[in-house]
A and B are shown apart, each in its own frame.
Chain A
Amino acid sequence: MTEEPNTWRVNYMLFRGHVSPVVWVHLFRDRAQAIEPAYVDSGAFYSIFDAEVAGALGLDFRRGRRVSVVSAGGQQVPLFLHTVGLQIGIFHIPAEIGFSDQLGIGFNLLGRYSVFNVLQFCFNDRDGELTVSRL
């Protein structure tokens, strides 16, 4: 019997001339799937994806659990939480993530809630490498 690998390493992606801890996240809901980049943000409480991603998965994002978050600028943004399947590298996890049409930053965030309690992220900014391990 072979043991499942517990660690996955990936290079940072280039974003506006900066190598950044951005990973491709596969999102699953039933059989629908979307692949979007997400900035791994250990300072973010919730993972936030654009509402259009929910649409691509056949979800009405406004039907999720509504919460409000405050960003660094003090702006309150409503989020709608949904449980979807996530694949990050070799890891498949169910996670409750937020969808918003008011984030307005053009990219998605992978935050701590329901993700960082399953996966550990280790940032190596010197070599531009992100190591993900299952806890």
Chain B
Amino acid sequence: MRKVKSQAKKTRETRVAYRAKRKSQAGVPRTPKPRVRKQVAAAKSVPWEKRIAPTEEQIREWTDWLNQHEPEFEIKYPGHYLAIWDRRIIGASPSHGEVYRLAGHARPDVIPLITYVPRPNEIFAVPSNFPAEWLKKTE
């Protein structure tokens, strides 16, 4: 069996050299390194005319998929807006504006369906509205 040459001496020398270097720098005041924030990659902007919108058939299919998973989403994403593309959630946020940004980041080349998942305590009621002037006339 061939003997492997020990690296111990070399390692010791390296350590000694390192310590000597540290010792020589001991009196030198440390200059703080400037903090560089990692740039978050900006979403690629795809021109509107190049973005793909779902077809009528796709919307029907994805709506069926949404309907099937609605109880699951009500548990996972209460009070969230979801961006849907091709039966997948490509963005979820409690903020309506944020979900557009997330979707634009995940799939800048498409126009996703945006939907809202209500919270359990939200009452299912639709506030029909009428112009305020009508109210004034009856007063």
B129:A69 contact, CB within 8 angstroms: yes
CB-CB contacts of B66-100 with A at 8 A, as 1s and 0s? 11001100100001000000000000000111001
B116:A52 contact, CB within 8 angstroms: no
A55:B97 contact, CB within 8 angstroms: yes
| Distance of A43 Cα from B118 Cα, bound (Å) | 22
Shortest CB-to-CB span from A38 to chain B, Å, is 11
With A15-B124, A26-B53: A107-B131 Cβ-Cβ less than 8 Å: no
Q: Which of B66, B96, B115, B129 contacts A71 (CB 8 A)?
A: B129
From residue 69 to 89 of chain A, which have CB atoms closer than 8 A to chain B?
A: 69-73, 75-77, 89
B129:A77 contact, CB within 8 angstroms: yes
Task: Assess whether B102 is interfacial by the CB under 8 Å rule.
Answer: no
With A13-B66, A24-B59: A35-B54 Cβ-Cβ less than 8 Å: yes
Q: Which of B51, B67, B116, B124 contacts A33 (CB 8 A)?
A: B51
| Distance of A106 Cα from B74 Cα, bound (Å) | 14
B128:A41 contact, CB within 8 angstroms: yes
Q: Looking at chain A, what size class is its interface with the partner chain? A: 35 or more
B97:A35 contact, CB within 8 angstroms: no
Closest to A43 in B: B128
| Distance of A101 Cα from B135 Cα, bound (Å) | 22
Shortest CB-to-CB span from A42 to chain B, Å, is 8
Chain A residues whose CB sits within 8 angstroms of the CB of B111 once the complex forms:
33-35
Q: Which of A15, A26, A55, A69 contacts B130 (CB 8 A)?
A: A69
| Distance of A55 Cα from B95 Cα, bound (Å) | 13
Closest to B100 in A: A56
Shortest CB-to-CB span from A131 to chain B, Å, is 15
B53:A35 contact, CB within 8 angstroms: yes
Task: Assess whether B108 is interfacial by the CB under 8 Å rule.
Answer: no
**Other CB < 8 Å A-B pairs besides A16-B74, A70-B129, 10 of them?**
A16-B122, A37-B116, A52-B97, A52-B100, A69-B132, A72-B128, A89-B56, A105-B126, A106-B79, A111-B129
The 6 closest A-B pairs by CB, nearest first: A43-B128, A31-B48, A71-B127, A68-B132, A52-B96, A69-B129
Interface residues of A (CB under 8 A from B): 10-11, 13-18, 24, 26, 30-37, 39, 41, 43-46, 48, 50, 52-53, 55-56, 67-73, 75-77, 89-90, 103, 105-107, 109, 111
Interface residues of B (CB under 8 A from A): 47-49, 51, 53-54, 56, 59-60, 63, 66-67, 70-71, 74, 79, 95-97, 100, 111-116, 118, 122, 124-132, 134-135
Q: List 6 A-B contacts (CB under 8 A).
A: A24-B113, A31-B48, A39-B126, A53-B114, A55-B100, A68-B132
